[in-house]
Chains A and B, each alone.
Chain A
Amino acid sequence: QKEVEQNSGPLSVPEGAIASLNCTYSDRGSQSFFWYRQYSGKSPELIMSIYSNGDKEDGRFTAQLNKASQYVSLLIRDSQPSDSATYLCAVERLPGNTGKLIFGQGTTLQVKP
């Protein structure tokens, strides 16, 4: 089992729709979770961090965390063509306090005008 799993996609949504990106992780003790966006040929850009169960909203983005189910998701409301990118889920690698992250393989999102 991979430590951080994401569906590679591509996930295709029409402009204006909600895009839902999912991620599961294997290490139950992980406490820190991140979503990064990566455009083709560019480096990752931090979108959201989440540490507690529940939802965290920032503009059009909402991160959701369920530690019991070892599941973290990212919702993008009112999707725009400029949101088309690969979204990487990253999870703190245990033991903690090292700053090390484990990345999923990424989900490619395509927003069609």
Chain B
Amino acid sequence: GAVVSQHPSRVICKSGTSVKIECRSLDFQATTMFWYRQFPKKSLMLMATSNEGSKATYEQGVEKDKFLINHASLTLSTLTVTSAHPEDSSFYICSARAAGGPLNEQFFGPGTRLTVL
């Protein structure tokens, strides 16, 4: 149980294009999903919290117009990196907290490695 998927697993795009990443909870309902970014040899940095049916809340320093988040259902959240630039190249990971599950216990998706040329 508690499986989270992400798609795509890897994407290479040209500078200026937009990239959409999907995060799905496969066997549970996730009222809350989180989006993280991880640079090489660094820890996870929380970008935003995505709640089903409401606007995402962004961490300080994260541009909400650049990183668009939509939590359309209890099993799907999407992150769109708009007008991507090389500095946006990173490992993007989502996590999900199960509705009614242990507080703060999060399950991570496999991650999406974005490379912007």
Measuring CB to CB, which residues of chain A are less than 8 angstroms from any residue of chain B? 32, 34, 36, 41-46, 49, 88, 92, 96-101, 103-106
A88-B106 in contact given A42-B111, A99-B34, A99-B97 (Cβ < 8 Å): no
B108 touches A101 (CB 8 A): no
B49 touches A44 (CB 8 A): no
B-side contacts of A42, CB under 8 Å: 110-111
Asked if B93 is an interface residue, CB under 8 A from chain A, the answer is yes
Tell which of B43, B97, B102, B108 touches A49, judged by Cβ atoms closer than 8 Å: B102
What's the least CB distance linking B115 to chain A, in Å?
Answer: 13
What's the least CB distance linking B51 to chain A, in Å?
Answer: 10
A43 touches B43 (CB 8 A): no
B43 touches A101 (CB 8 A): no
What's the least CB distance linking A106 to chain B, in Å?
Answer: 6
A43-B108 in contact given A100-B49, A103-B44 (Cβ < 8 Å): yes
Tell which of A36, A41, A99 touches B104, judged by Cβ atoms closer than 8 Å: A99
Measuring CB to CB, which residues of chain B are less than 8 angstroms from any residue of chain A? 32, 34, 42-44, 46, 49, 93, 97, 102-111, 113
Tell which of A45, A92, A100 touches B34, judged by Cβ atoms closer than 8 Å: A100
Cα-based distance from A49 to B34 in the complex (angstroms): 18
Interface core residue of B42, B93, B104, B105 (most chain A CB under 10 Å): B104
Given A32-B103, A43-B111, A46-B108, 20 extra CB contacts under 8 A: A32-B104, A34-B106, A41-B113, A42-B111, A43-B108, A46-B106, A46-B107, A88-B43, A88-B44, A97-B103, A99-B34, A99-B97, A99-B103, A99-B104, A99-B106, A100-B34, A101-B46, A101-B104, A103-B44, A106-B43
Cα-based distance from A34 to B95 in the complex (angstroms): 14
A44-B102 in contact given A98-B49, A99-B97, A100-B49 (Cβ < 8 Å): no
CB nearest to B6 among chain A residues: A43
Cα-based distance from A46 to B103 in the complex (angstroms): 14
A-side contacts of B108, CB under 8 Å: 36, 43-46
